[in-house]
Amino acid sequence: MNMTKRKMIFCFLASFVVLSVISVYVIFNPLNVSDDSIFDDPSNTIPSLNQEDSTAYVKTINSFAFDLLKQMTNDPLKEDNLFYSPYSVFTALAMTYEGASGKTASEMADVLKIPQDNISFHTYVSSLYSYLNQKDLYTLSTANALWIKENYEILSSYLSTVETYYHAASQSIDFSDPTEAAQIINQWVEDNTNNLIKDLIPPDAIDPVLCRLILTNAIYFKGTWEVQFDEQNTTNRDFEVSEGIITNVPTMTMVGTKERFNYTETDTLQILELPYAGNSLSMVIILPKTQTDLSTVVESIDETAYNRWFESMEKQEVDIYLPTFKIETPVLTLNDYLQNLGIRDAFGMNADFSGITGNKELRISDVLHKAYIDVNEEGTEAAAATAVIMELKSINGGGSSRIVFDCDHPFLFTLHHRDTGTILFMGAVENPSS
């Protein structure tokens, strides 16, 4: 692996909702699930859904999370570090998919692995949205919106679906001034990510003549560790970016304490779960036991392996060494990744989104994504947003009782919503100092 293609991959797993709208996989922990519905609530304000359907849909989102991660990891032009919200991307695409027909719909169904016009999936989407926006010891929120060209007609049946089940607000907007339109939408994104995600949509992504519809999702999370790191114990330590390449980075330490954490390992990996206050969300860190090409690690894991790790976790005393890090991604264009996964017609002249307008004049021009995460001694703050831009096709139409978990080389991580098992964010850290 050459030096520009780093090895560290963070996969943050959090059932999201708040940060980058996440892809995911739900794990039903007996400690968290007390009956047949993971979304059961005494106030009855959140729709209920049986465990079998919920498990299936979590698996769907988490599978998508790992599929997209593999595409992003294999991109030779990717940044050193990687972070995104599979939940955010999945949600924005799912809203778009609700209006797809024909081959366009079948391709999106193969990738997203969800049925159209299915009451159980719609109940799940609505329930998850409400569940993620509940107040707790952490802050987690998500929002959806449709930005529709002034006087452009959208089918009432489509609007009803996305407004009812995705809780998406619809707003008329003038795309003839791309700068002003981008400013309005970007302000909405900032407002829903605590000002962490700025300039998601560049003005030149909006065609003033052809643009008709933009769908957006935003997610935000802020939480403190259940067991916080002592800032006085943070010291500079070596981090092996790649074989023979060493950098010095501030590293949090928690050594010799009586705290116990969920931990498991395989022949090649160590997996550690660090919960946030409230115990509904956690960071899951996937650390190769030796300096390893992270792209190889990513290729070998999926939601099934991820689930298996959770099932094998046990409380252990662990000595933890974890770099502080901050990742702020540029605006990522996901078109190529999604086409590689199989969503092809949606971007071309054969696109069929007649379920949105009643005709086949629309196609996806761009799927844009941006994400942010800051991990320190106190906890984590993260945010992400996704935009699906739609336009006309044309103007016409070991050995000790204590375990050492030393993140002194590239690793993967996820932000994980423990109650539902959903991966809200994922990432890879190849160089904490970059």
Helix 86-97 to helix 51-73 angle, to the nearest 10 degrees?
A: 110
Cβ–Cβ < 8 Å for 306, 410: no
Question: What share of the chain in percent tops pLDDT 70?
Answer: 86
Dig out the tokens for 269 from the structure: 């990996």
pLDDT of residue 182: 98
Cβ–Cβ < 8 Å for 59, 403: no
Q: How many CB atoms lie within 10 A of CB 4?
A: 11
Going by pLDDT thresholds of 50, 70 and 90, the confidence category of residue 397 is very low
- The answer on 377 and 281 residing in a single domain is no
pLDDT(87) > 80: yes
- The answer on 331 and 292 residing in a single domain is no
pLDDT of residue 12: 34
In a domain, 31, yes or no: no
Where in the sequence is the domain holding 125, given as residue range(s)? Answer: 21-26+37-224+327-392
What is the Cα–Cα distance from 316 to 313, expressed in whole angstroms?
Answer: 9
- The answer on 207 and 246 residing in a single domain is no
How far the first Cα of the chain sits from its last, in Å, is 18
Lowest mean pLDDT among 125-129, 248-252, 329-333: 125-129
pLDDT(25) > 60: no
Q: Residues near 207 by Cβ (< 8 Å), separated by ≥ 6?
A: 175, 178, 365, 391
- The answer on 113 and 260 residing in a single domain is no
pLDDT of residue 43: 34
In a domain, 364, yes or no: yes
Q: How many CB atoms lie within 10 A of CB 101?
A: 15
Cβ–Cβ < 8 Å for 364, 338: no
pLDDT(35) > 50: no
For residue 38, give Cα distances in angstroms to 142, 225, 421.
19, 24, 10
Average pLDDT score over residue span 411-420: 86
- The answer on 201 and 137 residing in a single domain is yes
Q: Per this entry, what is the length of the chain?
A: 434
Dig out the tokens for 66 from the structure: 């790992």
Domain count, the chain: 2
In a domain, 7, yes or no: no
In 293-361, beta strands by DSSP E: 314-323, 325-328, 332-333
pLDDT of residue 408: 87
Going by pLDDT thresholds of 50, 70 and 90, the confidence category of residue 3 is very low
Q: How many CB atoms lie within 10 A of CB 76?
A: 7
In a domain, 14, yes or no: no
Average pLDDT score over residue span 354-370: 97
- The answer on 194 and 140 residing in a single domain is yes
Q: What is the CATH number of the domain that holds 261?
A: 2.30.39.10
- The answer on 44 and 163 residing in a single domain is yes
Average pLDDT score over residue span 147-174: 96
- The answer on 404 and 256 residing in a single domain is yes
- The answer on 147 and 124 residing in a single domain is yes
Q: What is the CATH number of the domain that holds 158?
A: 3.30.497.10
pLDDT(412) > 80: yes
Mean residue pLDDT of the chain comes to: 86
Cβ–Cβ < 8 Å for 414, 429: no
Q: Are strands 269-275 and 245-254 parallel, antiparallel or unpaired?
A: unpaired
- The answer on 184 and 114 residing in a single domain is yes
- The answer on 242 and 109 residing in a single domain is no
What is the Cα–Cα distance from 29 to 17, expressed in whole angstroms?
Answer: 19
- Looking at per-residue confidence, does 335 or 14 come out higher? 335
Average pLDDT score over residue span 301-305: 91
- The answer on 413 and 304 residing in a single domain is yes
Going by pLDDT thresholds of 50, 70 and 90, the confidence category of residue 317 is very high
What is the Cα–Cα distance from 10 to 81, expressed in whole angstroms?
Answer: 8
pLDDT(110) > 90: yes
- Exposed, middle or buried, 119 (CB in 10 Å: 0-12/13-18/19+)? exposed
Q: Residues near 200 by Cβ (< 8 Å), separated by ≥ 6?
A: 185, 186, 189, 216, 331, 368, 370, 385, 387
pLDDT of residue 433: 84
pLDDT of residue 398: 45
Average pLDDT score over residue span 83-102: 97
Cβ–Cβ < 8 Å for 197, 21: no
In a domain, 434, yes or no: no
> Which of 4, 2, 22 minimizes the C-alpha distance to 383?
22
pLDDT(143) > 70: yes
